[in-house]
Amino acid sequence: MRFSILGETLALRDDGTEVPLGGPARRALLTLLLARPREVVAAERLADEMAPDGAMSAHALQSQVSRLRAALGPAVIERAGAGYRAAVDPEDVDAGRFERLVREGRAALAGDDPRRAAELLRAALELWRGSALADLAHLAEADAARAVGIRLEELRLGAVEDRIEAELRLGGHRDAVAELRELTGRHPLRERLAALLIRALSAEGGQAEALAVYEETRGRLADELGSDPSAELLSLHRELLDFDPSPAQVGPPAQLTSFVGRADEVAEVAGMLRVARLVTLVGPGGVGKTRLSVEVAGAAADDVCFVELAPLRDGAGLPQAVLAALGLRGSGLRPDGGQGPFERLATALADRVLLLVLDNCEHLAGEAAALAGRLLAVCPRLRILATGREPLGVIGEHLWQVRPLEDGAAVRLFTERASAVRRGFTAAPGRVERICAALDNLPLAIELAAARLRTMDVEDLAGRLDDRLGVASARANRSADERHRTLRAVVAWSWDLLSGQEQRAARRFSVFPAGATSRAALAVCRADGEELGPEVLESLVDKSLLEFAGGRLRMLETIRAYGAERLEEAGETASAGRAHTRYVLELARAADPHLRGAGQPQWLERMAAGQDDLLAALRRAVGEGRWEAALELLASASAYLWIRGVAGSVAARAAAVLDAVGDAPPAGLGEEYAACVLLAAAGPGGPAPWRRHRARAGRLLAAAWPQDGGAGGRYPVLLLLWMMRNAAEADPLEAFALVSAQRDRPDPWVRAVAAYVAGFGPLGAGDPAGAERAFAEAAEGFRAAGDRWGGALVLDVLAGMAAGRGDRAVAVALTDEALALTERLGALEDSADLLVNRGDHVVDGDPAAAGADYARAASLARRAGGSAALAAALRGLGDLALRDGDPAEAERLYGEALERIDPHWVKSAGSRVRALVGLGRIAQSHGNRAGARARYAEAAAAASAVVGGTGPEALRLLGLPQEVVDTLVAHTA
């Protein structure tokens, strides 16, 4: 029989049926005994706890005991001296099992086994059905039992904390935040819960929110307990203050198998990199170049960025691929032009000590050589390790020829891989050596062959290889081309042993440029009308045709190239390509609404993981002239591309689509055409397609989003992008009217965008109160929708307005809120911009704090490769130097800032104007009136080019402080 006291008291037979216990007196009596199983409780004490007024006599207690024994059986409750006890094993009581599971869970957590700990603690907490000892709730005097209940409830809360900690260690921070918020609301002084919430928020990227939780907890502890935070909370606080929101760059890929036979080569290549800034590993396919580069990178003392070039099909996307691997993105908040990808790379790597690995350069040798040469010329602390079948041909390049394994290493590799698929594998060394010789000692060929021992013995394997390849007696002098033919023959042999369904799935998988999730593979790799089960993919993994790591399936490039040939041979290239495009399009369409809501961070990451697929599908559609598919792909992915800051990666393709469709887009795709125009304008050559197609795109977008109501369009993000792009034009009024007219749409995000845009109307008309109301409405709309991107945009404007009216505290608070959003998005350049703004807000009252913000902004901007943000930070540091009486340092900083500013880029206009005014003041202080007048005139011209005048109201639109406005007005009167 089992008993439960973690909730209403129950007695359950072995078959799970409930034993009727009778009224509340009997339930209370059983609860009192089960709270201390096997412990004798005096009859007098039982009577007092059940009836403190003395109403229960010894006879009445005996009567209740007799009735319980009749219900439960005489062996459950025993008479012992002057009292009674529950003669049950503590494991038969849920409270006893709960305590044991908690002990084991805590031991697993202390032993660094969070998965086991989480399982045990979940099992413990699932035993609870309500409050502990619920049937004693009416017994106010049951002190001893109540103490047991309090102890159990405290243990329960501690187990919840332990379980959450285990889940956080396993990466479950997303699910933990909501639960922890609820728990900290009920237990506001419990420091461990606060610490867990701070960790969960920080893991989600919410550093600002985590800091707010710390401050709230610290304040409560001081006000209510008069105590300081614990050492754990203080340590967490220091970690938050030291937080660097830089997105992670791509390191060497994780390897699932051991490294055999090249330890000396790792050391020698590492030695070459200490004296040479460019080392290229050359050799035939399958010889192990990539694996050697991974091991060299893994042993490097410097930071490493690993870039896989195999997914790229042309060199145009090479700089963007390196940016992506570095974890860098463009500015998503103000998509109005800016640097090209190489300039961003040069800025980001100018002062970094970094080993950049460019893997699989052979199909992009010219472009890879050009990029490597340019980067090495402008980034003196950069080193590059490249792999390919031929040298890059760059001056100063050092070569390392990667050769097949030595005989002994080849045998060890084969034996190790064979043992992984067949336990207890043994074979005569001569037989294994003969197999490896037939395979030219090529590591990839050996891995493919060894994987076959799952289904055949070594003699059969050797015989089949003899038939396919023959056995060479002297292969040391064979050329790379001959070895490539050997590898190709081994891939073909392994392929031929697949079932028909496995071959079909493998060749269709070759359409994925950089691997796929199982879900994507199952959707694309099945033939029309075919049901494809996951066991087919698992079989391909078992046979080394696919690898599974990091939640994704991958196919080595040599095998993928062979699979693509088989796909073409089977006449399935078109159908597989269509299936791949269909999957990419469906994913982008599914992501689009989430990218404007609370799921924004998760869907951004999901889309980022499939960005190579998006680019491949777009390239395929453009190459095949399927303009409708290309337009739909661009429009569906436009929200992702802009928010992530990678719109430039598709600009050239978008321009090609526009060249093909001209001014007559396919029927029903007007919005898609407008999205294409916006994306084409995002590249270095953007002005030309923008000027040519802007008017037509504007009419089509207006038709999709009529100002007099009616059904709205499919892609709301285009409204915001259209306004932002047109804000840089001489006459943005048409776009303003279109977007601001959408304020009554049912979509709350669209209403927020319309309110945001509408706010600029009263702002330009000299009605700041009206503008602020509209912006506040927009901020609340974005906040309610969960959109961090739009939220950061409007909060920055509100902060600027608060600063303009002299409310610095509000300006800083709004900027901090915007910073929390951009940090969560990993938007380094946008965070740098906001830090500069915060420095500008506080510089008059706290120059030291402003200096810290400018310095941190400069650091973030350098990491992001953001020249404009870096210029703004340098301008701020120049202002401080001038304020501190160091005009020489100020002049240097202003000059460096101006060198980095594109004079035609609207976003940088304010920084340019302020730097020029600063230089004018320096000239004036030196008595150089002509020089000062020239600088002020240049500043006024730069401002007028953007806002159309140099009056006070126009100048304030650039966010200029009053003293700068006054200076310009005085010198342009």
Residues 849-878, mean pLDDT to the nearest whole number? 89
Are the C-beta atoms of residues 567 and 555 closer than 8 Å to each other?
Answer: no
The pTM score is 0.67
pLDDT of 336 reads 45
Residues 527-545: what's their mean pLDDT? 83
Span 431-439, mean pLDDT? 86
Q: How confident is the model at residue 791 (pLDDT cuts 50, 70, 90)?
A: very high
Average pLDDT over residues 755-761: 92
The partner residues of 434 in beta bridges, in order of sequence, read none
With a cut of 90, say whether residue 98 has pLDDT above it. yes
Least confident of 243-252, 300-309, 458-467: 243-252
| Residue of 125 and 315 predicted with greater confidence | 125
**Out of 524-528, 531-535, 547-551, 741-745, least confident range:** 547-551
Please determine, for residue 112, whether its predicted confidence score (pLDDT) is greater than 80.
no
Calculate the dihedral angle through the C-alpha atoms of 317, 318, 321, 323, rounding to the nearest 10 degrees.
-110
Question: pLDDT exceeding 90 applies to what percent of the chain?
Answer: 34
pLDDT at 143: 61
Per the model's pLDDT, the better-predicted residue between 805 and 616 turns out to be 616
* Mean pLDDT confidence for 708-727: 87
In degrees rounded to 5, what are phi and psi of residue 3?
Answer: -130, 150
CB of 364 within 8 A of CB of 309? yes
Locate 152 and state its tokens: 């159990």
Contacts of 43 (CB under 8 A, 6+ apart): 58, 61, 62, 82, 83, 84
The Cα 632–Cα 666 span in angstroms is 11
3-state secondary structure 266-319: HHHHHHHHHHCCEEEEECCCCCCHHHHHHHHHHHCCCEEEEEECCCCCCHHHHH
Residue 685 above 90 pLDDT? no
| Alpha-carbon gap, residue 29 to 46, rounded angstroms | 7
Among residues 725, 718, 721, which one has the least CA distance to residue 687? 725
Q: What tokens were used for 267?
A: 């050391």
Quickly state the pLDDT bin for 249 (edges 50, 70, 90). low
β partners of residue 78: 85
DSSP output for 232-274: HHHHHHHHHHT---PPPPP-SPP-SS---S-HHHHHHHHHHHH
User: Residue 334 — pLDDT band, cuts 50, 70, 90?
Assistant: low
Of 833, 791, 836, 830, nearest to 814 by C-alpha is 791
496-522 in b/e burial notation, b at 16+ Cβ within 10 A?
A: eebeebbbbbbbbbbbbbbbbbeebbb
Comparing 175 with 270, which gets the higher pLDDT? 270
**The pLDDT of residue 573 is above 70:** yes
pLDDT tier, 475 (very low <50, low <70, confident <90, very high otherwise): very low
| Whether residue 887 has pLDDT greater than 60 | yes
Residue pLDDT, tens place only, 525-535:
987 778 888 88
Give the residue with greater pLDDT, 889 vs 222.
889
pLDDT band at 511 (very low <50, low <70, confident <90, very high): very high
Q: Under DSSP, is residue 23 helix (H, G, I), strand (E, B) or coil?
A: coil
Residues 945-955 have a mean pLDDT of 72
Which pLDDT value is given to residue 473? 34
Res 208: pLDDT: 63
The C-alpha atoms of residue 125 and residue 958 are separated, in whole angstroms, by 58
Task: With a cut of 90, say whether residue 339 has pLDDT above it.
Answer: no
pLDDT tens per residue across span 838-861: 999 999 889 999 999 999 999 888
pLDDT average, residue stretch 150-177:
83
Distance in angstroms (rounded) separating the CA atoms of residues 973 and 971: 6
Average pLDDT, the chain: 85
Instruction: Please report which helix (H) or strand (E) contains residue 355, including its range.
Output: strand 354-359
pLDDT band at 780 (very low <50, low <70, confident <90, very high): very high
Query: Token digits for 944?
Result: 């007028």
Q: What is the pLDDT of residues 373-417, one digit of tens each?
A: 999 999 999 999 999 888 998 989 999 998 888 989 999 999 988
Q: What percent of the chain has pLDDT over 70?
A: 91
